[in-house]
């Protein structure tokens, strides 16, 4: 990603004089990332075949941390340094639980590794930097505006996500850097809060605290070694004090069982659910992938029960190409 492609407005960029560490040196650890995915890959329709984002070098061996959806089923990966050099990479891991992805550079990046910081101690109002690859012109000085649970419609949940504002426009895999120059998290999403008159754009950040206990396992196995979570291929949304099916994956158990867009979700098994986080927790408590799931729905005002067998989402992914 060339530095001339885009720039953050100068008033939003961090000022190196405000930091006790060498800001420009730290920003060299952040690289651009380009991934190409085959058109017949499972995630091609939802995530695209050409994915552009960022990563941060966390070990001198060329290990790069990014957000996992950028590299899922990737056939080729290129890492772009601050001075425009392109180095090939290969995917090592995509953790479905945290959302992190790991890439190994296949050539010399020639940039420093960024030390992992303490995201648990990050308080509301803390000033931080959210940086994409390309130096200070691609970095935003921002603040922590929230620490709370985040539930994603795609069967994803974080207990203690980080939210920052102003938002970075190219947030995918961006590095959240603390006042001590250490890595605090990885950019995942952009969210909007408020109405048309007063709207706040925020980035949702996956805290680095989720990586530390599982990093060695991801490097050894490509995933956390516990049994894979059950997956239904169900896109659920909170609506009018309850949950509604926003869509289903064509190849998922929910679609095969006849679940339809617009169905209202009443519960799993004998337990009622009205919040997205509770839905995913109860689903994952039903057993590992391959376990039976009873989903209670309402369609056109009529209650119904749908039985299905969950699956491992990663079993539908293309295997990574060996280099």
> Which CATH number does the domain housing residue 90 bear?
2.40.10.120
Cα dihedral 212, 213, 218, 220, rounded to 10, equals 110
Run of H or E including 217: helix 215-221
Position 321 pLDDT exceeds 70 = no
Does residue 104 sit in the same domain as residue 215? yes
| Residue 323 lies inside a defined structural domain of this protein | no
- Which distant-in-sequence residues (6+ apart) come within 8 Å of 265 by Cβ? 236, 242, 243, 244, 245, 273, 279, 295, 296, 297
Q: What are phi and psi of 161, to 5 degrees?
A: -70, 160
Do 116 and 2 share a structural domain?
Answer: yes
Same domain assignment for residues 214 and 256: no
Asked if residue 120 and residue 92 are part of one domain, the reply reads: yes
- Mean pLDDT score of the chain, rounded to an integer? 94
| 64 strand-pairing partners | 57, 103
Output the pLDDT for position 192: 87
Whole-angstrom distance, CA of residue 20 vs CA of residue 74:
38
Same domain, 256 and 128: no
Domain finish residue from 225, 256, 287: 225
**Angle CA 125–136–202, to nearest 5:** 40
Percent of the chain scoring above 70 in pLDDT: 97
Give CA–CA dist 24/83, Å, rounded: 12
The string of pLDDT tens digits covering residues 21-79 is 999 999 999 999 999 999 999 999 999 999 999 999 999 999 999 999 999 999 999 99
Q: Does the predicted TM-score (pTM) go above 0.85?
A: yes
SS3 category, 84:
coil
Q: CATH no. for residue 244?
A: 2.30.42.10
Alpha-carbon distance of 132 to 38, in angstroms, equals: 25
């Amino acid at each position: 990603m060339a530095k001339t492609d885009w720039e953050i407005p100068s008033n939003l960029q961090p000022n190196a004089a405000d930091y006790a560490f060498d800001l420009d040196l730290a920003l060299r650890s952040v690289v651009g990332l380009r991934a190409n995915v085959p058109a017949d890959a499972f995630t091609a329709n939802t995530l695209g075949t050409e994915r552009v984002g960022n990563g941060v070098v966390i070990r001198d061996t060329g290990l790069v941390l990014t957000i996992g959806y950028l590299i899922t089923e990737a056939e080729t990966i290129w890492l772009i340094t601050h001075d425009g050099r392109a180095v090939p990479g290969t995917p090592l891991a995509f953790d479905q639980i945290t959302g992190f992805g790991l890439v190994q550079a296949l050539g010399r990046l020639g940039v420093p590794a960024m030390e992992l910081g303490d995201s648990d101690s990050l308080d509301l109002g803390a000033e931080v930097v959210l940086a994409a690859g390309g130096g200070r012109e691609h970095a935003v000085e921002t603040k922590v505006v929230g620490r709370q649970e985040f539930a994603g419609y795609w069967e994803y949940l974080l207990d203690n996500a980080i939210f920052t504002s102003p938002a970075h426009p190219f947030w995918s895999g961006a590095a959240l850097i603390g006042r001590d120059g250490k890595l605090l998290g990885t950019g995942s999403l952009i969210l909007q809060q408020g109405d048309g008159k007063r709207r706040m754009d925020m980035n949702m950040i996956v805290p680095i605290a989720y990586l530390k206990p599982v990093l060695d396992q991801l490097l050894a196995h490509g995933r956390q070694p516990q049994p894979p979570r059950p997956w239904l291929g169900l896109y659920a949304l909170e609506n009018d004090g309850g949950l509604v099916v926003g869509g289903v994956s064509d190849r998922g158990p929910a679609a095969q069982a006849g679940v339809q867009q617009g169905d209202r979700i009443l519960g799993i098994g004998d337990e009622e659910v009205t919040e997205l986080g509770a839905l995913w927790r109860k689903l994952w408590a039903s057993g590992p992938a391959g376990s039976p799931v009873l989903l209670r729905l309402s369609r056109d005002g009529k209650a119904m029960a749908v039985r299905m067998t969950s699956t491992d989402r990663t079993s539908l992914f293309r295997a990574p190409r060996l280099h």
